[in-house]
């Protein structure tokens, strides 16, 4: 049995809600013990953390890896390397590939590629409906047997309520988690910005924040009818929060996430049609951003994810309305989240509750915590080191990040999966 001791660390424990100096013992790929006193004497390898933060590895729900179909944008190898460099030890991948991951055969192909090429854990999601077309649900039971951890049509909203209610009912009978994109599809079709003065001045097609509220209200009504387990992938507006709070208070099996871009950027960052800032849903007002940060702080919003969406140069170097939506974020998730820490809006245990513990709990994983017996999936990082982000230094094949050239603070020192080092900063 291989035993490691991480000493001289700032232990970030999201389960206990604490940040304190101490040591962590890892044995045979799992956490064996932690403490704040003298390290036990014995024959073991010692890793000096030099006062840096040691936290559970990030569990990132909603990562797009473009295999099969668009491997030139992102492969499992490049995404895995980017994840390791960003402190992400578990990628939960989306099924919006070409073709969609909607059969056991396609899922098994993706799983084999991930196991062969990615240095981090990869858990696949499968499509909720065939081809993500919203017409006929997939074979949920067979896909679960093949390894699907959740079911989603990503940003293709299932507009047919009968199809969606049947899928929710069947998912409940199988014990499956459904992840949905709360948005009213008619109102949001073709939108490139959030409605308001800024979008009007720029002449951009816009969508009201009420579209998110309306989409969430519909989904909540269907949850009341079916009793399914449901996760909203991105809640980004203040208007949607009261409905989410009521649904939780009424005992529905509902959780919600938000993206790092909606927590750290607002609609004004689009400036003069900068397409790297075009994401889905579009960036919101500063008031919405602050409301979502507060919802993460209180626990109303459960998870923070990268919503990593690689796009090549050709799809981004277009007029704003025509450019593809999405941004890469596996490597920028933690540095961007640390902006909220340095602004004293969220402390480190709260951030890792949303980035590690809650996503792991929602998916029924053992990771995301520093308790004895948990997998030794860990990230060691210095929250204070400053740097200027160079998108061409990113490990992703695509470099469509809105943080290019921005001053950031906080870098990953090393990442460990099952106690094995998969990344170390040079």
* pLDDT above 80 (res 39): no
Going by C-alpha positions, the residue among 327, 315, 265, 313 that lies closest to residue 290 is 265
pLDDT tens per residue, range 279-302: 999 999 999 999 999 999 999 999
Q: Which stretch of DSSP H or E encloses residue 136?
A: none
* CA pseudo-torsion sign 342, 300, 215, 172: positive
* CA gap 244, 241 in Å, rounded: 5
Under 8 Å between Cβ of 413 and 380: yes
Using alpha carbons only, give the angle 288, 292, 293 rounded to the nearest 5 degrees: 120
Under 8 Å between Cβ of 303 and 255: yes
Average pLDDT score over the chain: 96
* pTM attached to this predicted model: 0.96
Residue 40 pLDDT: 73
Query: pLDDT class for 37, splitting at 50, 70, 90?
Result: confident
* CA pseudo-torsion sign 352, 357, 358, 359: positive
Mean pLDDT along residues 373-388: 97
Q: Which of 32-41, 52-61, 189-198 has the lowest mean pLDDT?
A: 32-41
The count of C-alpha atoms lying within 13 angstroms of the C-alpha of 107, restricted to the half-sphere facing its C-beta, is 25
pLDDT tens per residue, range 88-110: 999 999 999 999 999 999 999 99
* pLDDT above 60 (res 204): yes
Residue 88 pLDDT: 98
Residue 193 pLDDT: 96
Query: Which CA distances in Å does 203 have to 92, 103, 196, 361?
Result: 36, 42, 11, 43
Mean pLDDT along residues 294-314: 97
Residue found under tokens 């009521």? 246
Which residues, at least 6 apart from 322, have a Cβ–Cβ distance to it below 8 Å?
none
Q: Percent of the chain, pLDDT > 70?
A: 99
pLDDT tens per residue, range 251-261: 999 999 999 99
Query: pLDDT class for 245, splitting at 50, 70, 90?
Result: very high
* pLDDT above 70 (res 1): no
| Strand, coil or helix: 406 | coil
Under 8 Å between Cβ of 187 and 208: yes
Going by C-alpha positions, the residue among 152, 158, 150 that lies closest to residue 124 is 150
Q: Which stretch of DSSP H or E encloses residue 105?
A: helix 104-117
Residue 3 pLDDT: 87
* pLDDT above 80 (res 395): yes
* pLDDT above 90 (res 358): yes
Query: pLDDT class for 342, splitting at 50, 70, 90?
Result: very high
| Strand, coil or helix: 113 | helix
What is the distance, to the nearest Å, from the Cα of residue 333 to the centroid of all Cα atoms in its chain?
Answer: 8
- The DSSP result for 302-349, as a single string, is -EEE--B----HHHHSS-TTTSPP-B--TTTHHHHHHHHHHTTSS-HH
């Amino acid at each position: 049995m291989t035993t490691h001791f991480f000493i001289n660390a700032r232990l970030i424990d999201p389960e206990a809600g604490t940040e304190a100096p101490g040591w962590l013992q890892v044995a045979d790929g799992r956490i064996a013990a932690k403490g704040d006193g003298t390290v036990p004497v014995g024959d073991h390898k010692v890793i000096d953390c030099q006062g840096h933060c040691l936290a559970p590895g990030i569990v990132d729900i909603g990562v797009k890896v473009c295999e099969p179909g668009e491997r030139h944008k992102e492969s499992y190898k490049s995404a895995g390397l980017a994840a390791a460099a960003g402190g992400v030890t578990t990628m939960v991948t989306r099924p919006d590939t070409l073709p969609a991951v909607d059969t056991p055969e396609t899922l098994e192909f993706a799983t084999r590629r991930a196991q062969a090429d990615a240095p981090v854990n990869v858990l696949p999601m499968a499509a909720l409906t065939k081809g993500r077309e919203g017409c006929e649900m997939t074979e949920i039971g067979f896909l679960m047997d093949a390894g699907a951890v959740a079911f989603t049509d990503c940003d293709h909203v299932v507009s047919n309520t009968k199809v969606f209610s049947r899928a929710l009912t069947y998912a409940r009978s199988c014990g499956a988690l459904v992840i949905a994109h709360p948005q009213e599809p008619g109102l949001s079709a073709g939108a490139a910005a959030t409605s308001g003065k800024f979008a009007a001045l720029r002449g951009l097609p816009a969508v009201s924040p009420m579209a998110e509220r309306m989409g969430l209200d519909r989904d909540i009504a269907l949850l009341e009818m079916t009793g399914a387990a449901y996760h909203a992938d991105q809640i980004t507006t203040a208007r949607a929060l009261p409905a989410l709070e009521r649904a939780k208070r009424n005992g529905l099996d509902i959780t919600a996430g938000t993206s790092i871009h909606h927590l750290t950027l607002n609609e004004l960052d689009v400036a003069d049609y900068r397409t790297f800032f075009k994401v889905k849903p579009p960036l919101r007002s500063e008031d919405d951003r602050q409301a979502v940060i507060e919802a993460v702080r209180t626990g109303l919003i459960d998870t923070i994810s990268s919503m990593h969406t690689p796009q090549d140069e050709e799809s981004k170097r277009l007029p704003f309305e025509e450019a593809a939506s999405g941004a890469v974020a596996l490597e920028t998730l933690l540095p961007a989240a640390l902006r909220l820490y340095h602004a004293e809006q969220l402390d480190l245990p709260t951030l890792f509750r949303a980035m590690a513990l809650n996503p792991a709990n929602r998916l029924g994983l053992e990771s995301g915590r520093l308790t004895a017996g948990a997998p030794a999936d860990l990230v060691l990082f210095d929250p204070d080191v400053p740097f200027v982000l160079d998108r061409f230094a990113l490990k992703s094949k695509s470099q469509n990040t809105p943080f290019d050239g921005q001053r950031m603070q906080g870098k990953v020192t090393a990442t460990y999966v099952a106690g094995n080092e998969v990344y170390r900063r040079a």
